[in-house]
Structures are given as structure tokens and as C-alpha cells.
Amino acid sequence: MDIKYLKNLLEQVQSGSVDIDAAVHELKNLPFENLGYARIDNHRSIRTGVSEVIYCEGKNIEQIQGIVRRISQRHHNILATRCGKQVFEAIRDADADAVYYDLARIAVIKPQPVEKVGNIVVVSAGTSDIPVAEEAAVTAEVLGNQVKRIYDVGVAGIHRLLDVRDELFEANVAVVVAGMEGALASVVGGLVSCPVIGVPTSIGYGASFGGLAALLSMLNSCASGVSVVNIDNGFGAGYQASLINKLCK
């Protein structure tokens, strides 16, 4: 139920093709719909342009299916993140059209083609960081953005990064995904003039403390245009990159 949907409904009321009672019924759940265990924020797509996203961790199968069934009545291209294969099977029971991105662990419910605009680059330091990078990239693509992937360009071989300088320079926004010491965010931040969103990953061991090292590293970046999201939060980075990329028209 986004703004287009809302306008359309009101025009039908105006023209008389929908009567008042039916419209009231429809609008009753506009702000949110209460399932008991979840209140679906239908207003979100009006407010932010994106329908509610389902974060699957910590929810049981019944709850996820219930939420999927309700949201899919009014929305398209609904993202379900942190979605394991087993959970996806349950989602497909509720929506047969749902598609799955396994590296990214994302399901898209009621998928619909979207025009992809602008230019987001998603950069990863290492091969092991790719699942988080894919979460960012798929999120951004589903939300209607052009995404360029540049993987395994960590600072231990800086020439690999310098080699893709031109692609970095053309981006509206760069998502930089790195574990271990997370130095890549600073180096990219020093090279480009676009905003950089750092995503520390939990890749590493010992004193990486589950991604803390990369997180602190990115927060203390000596390069100026870098902000940071939670450890392994590819979704959040892809989402914000989309908000930024779409400002450019």
C-alpha cells in the first residue's frame, strides 16, 4: 500500500467506482494491521517508499508465514532477510512465486520487475565477505538500483583496488564490506568523492572478536566520508545506499 495505491483508491472513491464502505474497510488497516504476534506497518511504504522488511531470525515458521500472507496482500517485492533455506521453503508455501538468493540468504516475496537506476558499487575485501556483500547488493537491486560488484580487493594487494579506481569514481555511493581489520573502508574513503557506507563483517578469528575489530576500525576511519552499519548488516547498507542513490535524479 504505497502512495500510488493510495492515490488510486481515492480517485476511485472520487469517481464513484469504489463506495465509501469499501474504502473505509481498506483504509482501516492503513497505519498497521495487528496479527497479535506482529503489527504489520502498512504505513511504512507511504512514509518511506519501502514496504516492511521481514527479519527472519528469532521468528518461528508460523509467524513468518502469517506475516508473509498479510504483507503480500498489499505489497510487492517484499524482502525477507536472514532467511535460511528451510525458512524459504516455508515462505514458498505461503507465496509460490517467491524467489531465493542463497548467497545473500534473502527471499523476495511477490517479486515484480523494477527499473534499476543510478550506480551503487559494492566492494568486498575478501572472498569470505561475499555473503554479506551479496546481502547488500541484492537488497539494493530489489529496491530498484543498479549495482556494480567488485569483490576480493583487500588492502593486502592494493594494486587490485587501484585497478578498479575508475569504477569507484563513477559510483553515487559505495558500500565497502570487510572483515578482519576492515582497512578497506578507509582506503576507499580516501580515494572517492561519493559517500561510503562501511559494513564490518564477522570474518576473522581471535582478536577480531566477532567483527569488533573491523567495526572499530571503520568507525575510526581517517578518511572523511565514511559511515558505518552493524557487523554483517549487508541489508542495512544496501537499504541506505538505495536511499542515497535515489536522491540523484
Task: Establish if 61 lies at the interface with its own copies (CB under 8 A).
Answer: no
Task: Establish if 247 lies at the interface with its own copies (CB under 8 A).
Answer: yes
For residue 123, the tally of other CB atoms under 10 A from its CB is 30
Candidate ranges 12-20, 68-76, 105-113, 225-233; the one touching its own copies (CB under 8 A): 225-233
Cα 201 to Cα 197: distance, rounded to the nearest angstrom: 13
Task: Establish if 49 lies at the interface with its own copies (CB under 8 A).
Answer: yes
Shortest distance (Å) from residue 222 CB to its own copies: 5
Residue window 180-199: x/- pattern of binding to its own copies, with contact defined by CB under 8 A = xxxx--xx-xxxxxxx-x--
Please report, as residue ranges, which positions from 70 to 109 form the binding site for its own copies (by CB under 8 A): none
Task: Establish if 39 lies at the interface with its own copies (CB under 8 A).
Answer: yes
Task: Establish if 234 lies at the interface with its own copies (CB under 8 A).
Answer: no
Cα 123 to Cα 194: distance, rounded to the nearest angstrom: 14
Number of residues that bind its own copies (CB under 8 A): 98
Task: Establish if 231 lies at the interface with its own copies (CB under 8 A).
Answer: yes
Q: Enter the DSSP assignment of 32.
A: -
Answer for which of 4, 19, 48, 85 binds its own copies (CB under 8 A) is: 48
Cα 227 to Cα 221: distance, rounded to the nearest angstrom: 9
- Considering the complex, state which of residue 4 and residue 47 has its C-beta at the smaller distance from its own copies: 47
Shortest distance (Å) from residue 17 CB to its own copies: 29
Amino acid, single-letter form, for residue 81:
T
Cα 43 to Cα 14: distance, rounded to the nearest angstrom: 22
Q: Which residues of 145-179 are buried (b: 16+ CB within 10 A; e: fewer)?
A: bbbbbbbebbbeeeeebeeeeeebeebbbbbbbbb
Task: Establish if 44 lies at the interface with its own copies (CB under 8 A).
Answer: yes
Task: Establish if 217 lies at the interface with its own copies (CB under 8 A).
Answer: yes
Q: Which residues are CB-contacts of 223 (< 8 A; sequence separation ≥ 6)?
A: 185, 186, 187, 188, 189, 190, 196
Burial class (CB in 10 A: 0-12, 13-18, 19+), 45: buried
Task: Establish if 4 lies at the interface with its own copies (CB under 8 A).
Answer: no
- Considering the complex, state which of residue 14 and residue 224 has its C-beta at the smaller distance from its own copies: 224
Task: Establish if 2 lies at the interface with its own copies (CB under 8 A).
Answer: no
Shortest distance (Å) from residue 192 CB to its own copies: 7
For residue 49, the tally of other CB atoms under 10 A from its CB is 14
Task: Establish if 160 lies at the interface with its own copies (CB under 8 A).
Answer: yes
Shortest distance (Å) from residue 233 CB to its own copies: 6
Q: Give the residue among 186, 92, 185, 80 at the shortest CA–CA distance from 142.
A: 80
Shortest distance (Å) from residue 51 CB to its own copies: 11
